[in-house]
Every structure is written in structure tokens, then in C-alpha cells.
């Protein structure tokens, strides 16, 4: 089994972004926290916007960025969970 697991956010047949499953637990937690908080902040900004007149493409950019950050954060939390169960 490899020490590196591909992130689910990879969109290519050959994954290029990976997590080190042997990274220190604090690093996995910190990386997850950073991405989840960044996604929260994006969604908060979106919540504060008046959606009248907002470009649909801009809205898609917000949603895509938030999803990507949340997915990476969840992947890091999954890796942390595997570490805690081991």
C-alpha cells in the first residue's frame, strides 16, 4: 500500500494531488482545518452578497472553489481518522 493517497478532487485519469497518510496527525488536522475554514469564508462571503445581478459564472466559481476546498479538507480528515484507528 502506498503512503500517498490521491485526493478525490483530482479530475484527471492520473491523480496528481495526494495526501501523505503518514504525515503527522497535527499536520493532517491543520491542513483540513485550513481548507474547511477557507471554504466557510467563501460561503460566508457568498451569503453576504446580494445575488441580484450576480453573474452566474461568478457564482459557479465561488461554489467550485468552496467544493474543492471542502473535499480536500474532508480527505485530510479521512486520512487523520485512518491514523487514529491504526
> Is position 12 within any domain?
no
Q: Which pLDDT tens digit goes with each residue over 66-76? A: 999 999 999 99
Q: What is the pLDDT of residue 8?
A: 94
Helix, strand, coil share (%) of the chain residues, nearest 5:
65, 5, 30
pLDDT at 71: 96
The count of residues in the chain is 86
The answer to whether residue 14 sits within a structural domain is no
- Which residues span the domain enclosing 79? 23-85
Q: What is the pLDDT of residue 44?
A: 94
The answer to whether residue 17 sits within a structural domain is: no
Closest CA to 45 of 62, 33, 58: 62
Q: Is residue 9 part of a domain?
A: no
Tell whether 18 is covered by a domain: no
Flag whether 78 is in a domain: yes
| Burial degree of 17 (CB within 10 A; 0-12, 13-18, 19+) | middle
Tally of structural domains, the chain? 1
Task: Say if 40 falls within a structural domain.
Answer: yes
Amino acid at each position: 500500500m502506498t503512503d500517498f493517497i490521491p485526493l478525490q478532487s483530482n479530475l484527471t485519469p492520473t491523480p496528481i494531488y495526494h495526501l501523505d497518510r503518514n504525515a503527522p496527525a497535527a499536520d493532517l488536522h491543520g491542513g483540513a482545518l485550513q481548507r474547511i475554514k477557507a471554504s466557510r469564508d467563501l460561503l460566508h462571503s457568498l451569503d453576504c452578497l446580494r445575488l441580484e445581478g450576480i453573474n452566474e459564472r461568478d457564482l459557479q466559481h465561488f461554489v467550485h472553489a468552496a467544493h474543492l476546498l471542502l473535499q480536500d479538507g474532508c480527505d485530510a480528515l479521512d486520512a487523520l481518522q485512518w491514523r487514529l484507528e491504526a
